[in-house]
Homo-oligomer: A and B are copies of this chain.
Amino acid sequence: MADSAAGAPVLRVALAQLNTRVSDIEGNLKMALAAHRRAAEAGADLVVYTEMTIPGYPAKDLLLEKPFVRRNVEALGRFAKAAAEGPAALIGFAEPHEGPGTRLYNAAAFCAGGEVRQVYRKWLLPTYDVFDEDRYFDEGEEVCIVNHLGWRLGITVCEDAWNDEHYFPHQRYRRNPIREAAGADAEAVVNLSASPFAMSKAKGREDVLAASAGRHGVPFLMTNLCGANDDVVFDGRSFAADGAGTVRGRAAAFDEDMLMVELRREGGSITVSSTEAPSPTGMEELRRALVLGIRDYVEKCGFAEVLIGLSGGIDSALVAALAVEALGPGRVRGVAMPSRYSSEHSRTDAYALAKALGIHCDTIPIEEMFARVMEELGPHLPGAGGVTEENAQSRLRGLTLMALSNATGAMVLATGNKSELSVGYATLYGDMCGGLAAIGDVPKLVVYELSHYINKSAGREVIPKSTLTKPPSAELRPDQKDSDSLPPYEILDPIVRAYVEEGLDAEEITARGFEGETVERILRLIRKNEYKRRQTPPTIKVTNRAFGYGWRMPIARGDW
């Protein structure tokens, strides 16, 4: 600690919580430099960016493309030069090397005085759920202490902070980089993160990381990515905790921000001061995550508009409400596609919704098309029962939406929820059509809860009351109800959650008080419908386990 005592009494750190875009190296560089200027104006001594700032996170198999990696290295050089004046910076990039392994590190560069002065290489590489870091990166092994203005800062990247021996009953890794940085006399630990959103995770994230800071007696500063890339939403909420484990500052949730954190030597210890943005919870948190997920997918893919099939039901109503919040009413078009089985109230509800949201709504009845299709197909479908006809209706709606999409360039938003996707209560190439499954990770009961919340917080009936109160139905045959085919959602949802999100088995789920037979039936349905889920569009992940990238199940399989 001898050096540091000679340093400046105060270190001002700017946590640059940016919404980087995967593979947009030039855009990310520009964004980082703009933040650097803002940080300089605010008097920062150091700017800390998010994990993989330059290539974006997760860049996936683009990291296997050599020119992509070369360009990211070259951009780092340009960044260091352009940021020569003003604060130093810790910025994330992919560092190539020639040793054995994948030949890449997930790295953070310390840039000062126009050059890259030090590089930290991430030790702990998450390879579970949506993470595939062992596919791309080799493990770093060395502690990296940056000495900046006489302050000794230990550098870490995201997962490095998540192997606390006291907090987690089971260690995923053998080393704890926070402990080792503290052991190397770091006065504060800095962390560049891309930590994804999941409902109710933010509090736990602050708790575990702050507690770890407290345990090692070092302030902890984390900059987290903010924005969505494909199916994964990053919620920001960068934060700073002091060496006693108390949170002293927090950046905005679901929005870009720059959090100024002041470290000050007082007596023998270091105080941490900053500002604390509110951290939304519950339905407000979920709403904002989904809105960000929709907006970023649409914007980052470059679509002007989205299309949503409005059935009068709750799923499409919720998706429309979220899309309007994400993009504005002018960029959302509803399409009502009634058939002979559409109830009068469904049509009314769809129009009432469109009116309440201020969006355009086309009506394209599928009745005539359906009649003609069944006339043509009927003679070839000797055994055709209800499901064939039901699916054909759903697929004609899909075809209609996709024709509009082809003609207008608008992207279709799929409206299925997680409960349906779990048990396959959805039509492949029908209602599963679309570029993004906006609420595909939201269980049906939460769809209701969120819809009520949206109405409540708007102070008016955005989603029509009758949509909220009628029994759920696919309306593909007379008087159909979801409950004809499925257990009530009050039973289905907690069973799906226990299996998919908590990883419990049939026995453990039954022990929670469900009927063994119902549990077995639902688990069977989940397994049987893997083939449908394999062909879904990206699904915005909001729970700790979503179908999609982080759910990798065989299709052809036995039952043990």
Give A residues with C-beta under 8 Å from B: 21-27, 56, 58-62, 64-68, 71, 100-103, 127-128, 132, 134-135, 170-174, 229-230, 296-297, 300-301, 362, 364-366, 368-369, 372-373, 376-377, 380-385, 387-388, 391-392, 395-396, 398-400, 402-404, 406-408, 428-429, 433, 435, 503, 505-507, 531, 534-538, 551-560
Contact B380 A27 (CB under 8 A): no
Contact B24 A555 (CB under 8 A): no
A435 to B65, CA, bound (A): 31
Contact B536 A23 (CB under 8 A): no
Contact pick for A61, options B300, B301, B531, B552, CB 8 Å: B552
Contact B408 A383 (CB under 8 A): yes
Residues of B within 8 Å of A503, CB to CB, are 64-66
Closest CB of chain B to A494's CB: distance in Å?
Answer: 18
For the complex of A and B, the 5 pairs showing the least CB-CB separation, nearest first, are A24-B558, A300-B556, A134-B134, A100-B171, A23-B557
Nearest chain B residue, comparing its CB with the CB of A61: B552
The listed residue with most B CB atoms (<10 A of its CB), out of A127, A368, A406, is A406
The listed residue with most B CB atoms (<10 A of its CB), out of A230, A557, A560, is A560
Residues of B within 8 Å of A388, CB to CB, are 403, 406-407
Contact pick for A402, options B428, B531, B538, CB 8 Å: B428
Residues of B within 8 Å of A26, CB to CB, are 558, 560
Closest CB of chain B to A87's CB: distance in Å?
Answer: 26
Closest CB of chain B to A278's CB: distance in Å?
Answer: 28
Contact A377 B391 (CB under 8 A): no
The listed residue with most B CB atoms (<10 A of its CB), out of A58, A536, A556, is A556
Contact B23 A560 (CB under 8 A): yes
Contact A556 B380 (CB under 8 A): no
Nearest chain B residue, comparing its CB with the CB of A20: B558
Closest CB of chain B to A101's CB: distance in Å?
Answer: 6
Nearest chain B residue, comparing its CB with the CB of A506: B67
Contact pick for A556, options B170, B229, B403, CB 8 Å: B229
Contact B127 A71 (CB under 8 A): no
Contact B391 A376 (CB under 8 A): no
Contact A101 B172 (CB under 8 A): yes
Residues of B within 8 Å of A173, CB to CB, are 100-101
10 A-B residue contacts at CB 8 Å?
A24-B557, A24-B559, A26-B558, A58-B554, A62-B557, A134-B135, A364-B380, A377-B403, A381-B404, A402-B429
A395 to B71, CA, bound (A): 41
Closest CB of chain B to A442's CB: distance in Å?
Answer: 20
Residues of B within 8 Å of A127, CB to CB, are 127, 132, 134-135
Closest CB of chain B to A94's CB: distance in Å?
Answer: 13
With contacts A135-B127, A387-B406 taken as known, whether A25 is within 8 angstroms of B380 at the C-beta atoms is no
With contacts A21-B556, A23-B559, A407-B385 taken as known, whether A380 is within 8 angstroms of B362 at the C-beta atoms is yes
Contact B396 A174 (CB under 8 A): no
A368 to B21, CA, bound (A): 46
Residues of B within 8 Å of A536, CB to CB, are 535
Contact pick for A507, options B67, B170, B300, B429, CB 8 Å: B67
Residues of B within 8 Å of A64, CB to CB, are 503
Nearest chain B residue, comparing its CB with the CB of A427: B402
Closest CB of chain B to A500's CB: distance in Å?
Answer: 10
Contact B554 A62 (CB under 8 A): yes
With contacts A376-B364, A407-B388 taken as known, whether A22 is within 8 angstroms of B399 at the C-beta atoms is no
Nearest chain B residue, comparing its CB with the CB of A135: B127
Contact A429 B398 (CB under 8 A): yes
Closest CB of chain B to A551's CB: distance in Å?
Answer: 7
